[in-house]
Structures are given as C-alpha cells and as structure tokens.
Amino acid sequence: MRIALVGAGAFGEKHLDALARIEGAEVATIVSASIDEARKLADKHGIADVSDSYEETLKRADVDAVILTTPTPMHAAQAIQAMDAGKHVEVEIPVADSWPDAEAVLAKQRETGLVCMVGHTRRFNPSHQYVHDRIVAGEFAVQQMDVQTYFFRRQNMNAKGEPRSWTDHLLWHHAAHTIDLFAYQSGRIVAAHAMQGPKHPELGIAMDMSIQLKAETGAICTLSLSFNNNGPLGTFFRYIGDSETYIARYDDLVNGREELIDLTGVAVSNNGIELQDREFVSAIREGREPSSSVAKVLDCYRVIGDLAADLERQDGWS
C-alpha cells in the first residue's frame, strides 16, 4: 500500500517512524508547502520522492491513501479533497475546527465509501486499550476521569519547538483527545460545560481552560488544559472506577498506588501512533470501518461545537 504523507512537521515524522514498522506499507512521497522541508525529512528517512503540490499528488495512480499531518485549519478541506480523488485518508486530530466542517467530512465519507479515519491516538495507546478491554469484559466501570493536559507554549511553537505558521487550540485540538476517549470508555456524553481563562494578546486564544463532562452511564470527567504550565508537560489520565484506579501516561499505565501494569500482549506494539497507522492500513485492506473512523468520533465534535458556542456566549457577558 502506497501512502502519501502530507505535512513535514513533528507529527509527520512520528508517522514515518510508525509506517516503517508496518509490513506492506510504503511511503510513496512526502508533501509539504516547503519543498525544502519535504526533502529534508525525506532524506532523513530514505524516501526518494517529494512534492510541494497536494493537488498533483492526489492525481497520482500510484498513491492509494494519504495521511494528513497539516495545520488544523486545513484538515477538513484536505480530507474531502482526498476522498474526491478516490484516496483513503487518515487525518490527524482534529478532523475539523468547526462542527459544520466535521459534518461535511462525514458526508463525503458516506458518499464515497472510502476509509476516512481520524488520529484519535488515545483509542490505540496500550494503556487506554487495557482499560477498555476490562470495561468490555465487565471487570471495570469508570466512575470518574480526571485529566490534565499541560504545555508551556506562550509562543507559537510546534511539538519540536519550531515556529508554527498557524495557531494551535486547546479546545478543538487538545480537548478532543480526552472528550473522545471519555465517550469511548464511558458512553455518549450527555452534558458538557467549559470555562476559559484570559486570551493571549498576540495568539488570540485562551491559554487555560476547564471542562466538565457527564456520560450517559453517569460517569463524569474533569479536564484541565493549559499552555501556561511551566512544569511536566503532556497529558495525564486518572481513571477512578468501581474496582480499581488507573493512571495512564501515554503508553504507560500504573494503578493508583503507582505500581506498573504489564501491558505485554495488549497490542502488537507499545507505540500508539504505530497502532493507529496499523488500523488505518488494515481497515483499507479488509474493506471495513476503522476504530476511529470519522463516523465513530464525530460525536466528539458535536460536544466541542456546543462548548465553543457556550464559550462565545460567556465572552459576550464581559
């Protein structure tokens, strides 16, 4: 299967590392608005072909699928372009930065029948999959999730500390991971509330945010997000359940007493991005819907859209 990687930034490189470990998956080309950045990344990973034209890449008969790691504002339009060109597509989280655009991506997937998968990596991390397997087996039920998503990002930088040409967003990007994961583990979200702190004078986004969620099962979630945190960075999940407490830190899992849980055998890899890409490739080969298809994650964006509208109303109060 020949895949075009679109986007030569920090997450593009993570996908290149993952695809290199998947038998039968080949990166046909790396596409970037900057041909120099595309070539720099391609040379590092031994890939011969690069391009600065997404449109021309989509015309290629030797490209079966695309993985989009481009700026968030481009995701929905580029995913729709890919499906219009007959290509399967995996788009990094979030699928869109508005509810109507998310709905449009799903409509195009249903029209074409192609695989359209969104990079909700938390569904694939072995730590969260271990918890999910226990839930499905009836051995654990979430009562509460407490989640911290913290970065120190007072300038417009990417995950590699390089300048960004676009502005990241706590709600549409980083909160999407937890909102979808909470629904995946606990059931459809039936109530959601949010508050945000002051907006950055130059970036124009809130740098701190608090979100509360409730699922149809009665489980609740408290999510704290910050771009102001000058300390440990990343996202940390605490599952408080009816039979155990778990703390997930990316691909690692401990219990409430900080005792490491052996995740051997949960999946074929301990790398969430690799497992995500394996699901994408397998779904295409098997002609089936992937675990994080746009249809399965869409309700997350309904919730985010409602929260965004609520935050706009709150801004109107001041």
Tell me the DSSP string of 40-56.
Answer: HHHHHTT---EES-HHH
Domain with CATH 3.30.360.10 in the chain: 122-269+301-317
* 21 phi and psi angles, rounded to 5 deg: -100, 5
For the residues 213-223, what does the mean pLDDT come to?
A: 98
Provide CB contacts within 8 A for 256, sequence distance 6+: 244, 245, 246, 247
Beta carbons of 89 and 28 less than 8 angstroms apart: no
Write down the pLDDT at residue 258: 96
* DSSP SS3 for 156: coil
In the chain, the amino acid numbered 119 is G
From 3.40.30.10, 3.40.50.720, 3.40.630.10, 1.10.357.20, which CATH number describes the 2-120+273-290 domain? 3.40.50.720
235: enclosing H helix or E strand: strand 234-241
CA-based torsion, 150, 156, 162, 165: positive or negative: positive
CA distances, 63 to each of 8, 54, 60, 212, 306 (Å): 18, 12, 6, 42, 37
Cβ-based neighbour number of residue 232 at 10 Å: 10
Torsion of CA 179, 92, 81, 96, to 10 degrees: 30
Query: Which pair of tokens denotes residue 71?
Result: 């700026």
Distance CA 37, CA 52 (A): 10
pLDDT for residue 166 is more than 60: no
pLDDT at residue number 100: 97
SS3 at position 223: strand
Edge to edge, the sheet with strand 50-51 lists 50-51, 26-31, 2-6, 65-68, 88-92, 116-119
The mean pLDDT of the chain is 93
Sign of CA dihedral 119, 121, 124, 130: negative
Asked if pLDDT for residue 173 goes beyond 70, the answer is yes
What class, spelled out in words, does domain 122-269+301-317 have in CATH? alpha beta
Please state whether the predicted TM-score (pTM) of the whole model is above 0.85.
yes
**Residue 315 banded pLDDT, cuts 50, 70, 90:** confident
Cα distances (Å, whole numbers) of residue 65 to 76, 188, 229, 284: 16, 30, 38, 9
Asked whether residue 154 carries a pLDDT value surpassing 70, the answer given is: no
70-118 per-position pLDDT tens digit:
999 999 999 999 999 999 999 999 999 999 999 999 999 999 999 999 9
Delimiting residues of CATH 3.40.50.720 domain(s) in the chain: 2-120+273-290
- Residue 52: is its pLDDT beyond 80? yes
Could you give the angle at the alpha carbon of 266 between the alpha carbons of 263 and 269, nearest 5°?
90
SS (H, E, C) 129-144: HHHHHHHHCCCCCEEE
| pLDDT at res. 50 | 97
Give residue 66's Cα distance to chain centre: 16
Q: If pLDDT is split at 50, 70 and 90, which confidence band does 157 have? A: low
